[in-house]
Amino acid sequence: MNDLKMKDLNQRYADLVRKRYEENVECGKKAVEYLESSTAVYHGVPVACLYMPKLYSDDVWEYLNDVSNTTCKILDKVIRRYLSDPEYRKLFPFSPELEELILLEAGYPRLLPIARLDIFLNEEDYSFSFCEFNADGASTMNEDREANLSIQNSDALTKMRENYNIESFELFDSWVQEFVDIYESYEGKKVKSPRVIISDFMEGATANEFIEFKKAFQRAGLEADICEIRDFVYENGELRTPDGKKVDAVYRAW
């Protein structure tokens, strides 16, 4: 995005909405209609989002990217220390059973394959406080995708694009490529193209997002499916789905 401060950038967008209010009201209605028939659904209810997106200028994006990279390095050090130092592990209130699982050898060098770092950002001075760390393959990727699609041809965004290069984040195919790279580093891999299973406790899962990830894995040329985590079958040292198919890699297993 062009070199413009975040506050000014968002103000210009808001000014366009005010200037062409009726046109944007109609676009807002179309965005709502799109979301109501989209896959952005949580517990049976379409997600709500604002008509005006949050726009980040290049300098803020670079800053947040640095924050993310630095935080991941810190978390990597914490994980590495936890794995190697029994005394350090006493600082964490994990059950013996959970600790045993954490200490199992993963078979690949990446200690933190995926994470979503949630922060509260002060847009005046860019100071921030952490809200939570999600490291299980956090959701909302699909909601983000659908929200962006709902306004991609809106009046205000179209006008903004006449002067600025505005892009949304791609969160599916890029992760699949990272997933494949991690699998390539896995010491126990037995096939070149793994059969990937997307798994979770399905009563609390975001099923539509899993479907989108399944499509993304398939676009990458991999066989993929979705399975309730409690339905896996472990026989003769191999993990299989209820229909008997062998599992080579798992995404988002608790």
What domains can you pick out in the chain, each with its CATH number? 172-254 (3.40.50.1760)
List the chain residues with pLDDT less than 70.
1-4, 136-139, 253-254
pLDDT at 136: 66
Contacts of residue 157, Cβ cutoff 8 Å, sequence gap at least 6? 13, 53, 151, 166
Q: Is 209 exposed, middle or buried (0-12, 13-18, 19+ CB in 10 A)?
A: buried
Which pTM was predicted? 0.88
pLDDT at 207: 82
pLDDT at 14: 96
Distance CA 151, CA 148 (A): 6
Distance CA 139, CA 120 (A): 18
pLDDT at 254: 55
Distance CA 153, CA 230 (A): 42
pLDDT at 147: 95
pLDDT at 4: 65
Which residue in the block uniquely carries the two structure tokens 């209605």?
Answer: 29
Distance CA 41, CA 209 (A): 9
The per-residue DSSP string of 27-87 comes to: HHHHHHHHHHTSS-EETTEEPP--SSPPP--HHHHHHHHHHHHHHHHHHHHHHHHHHH-HH
Beta bridge partners of 217: none
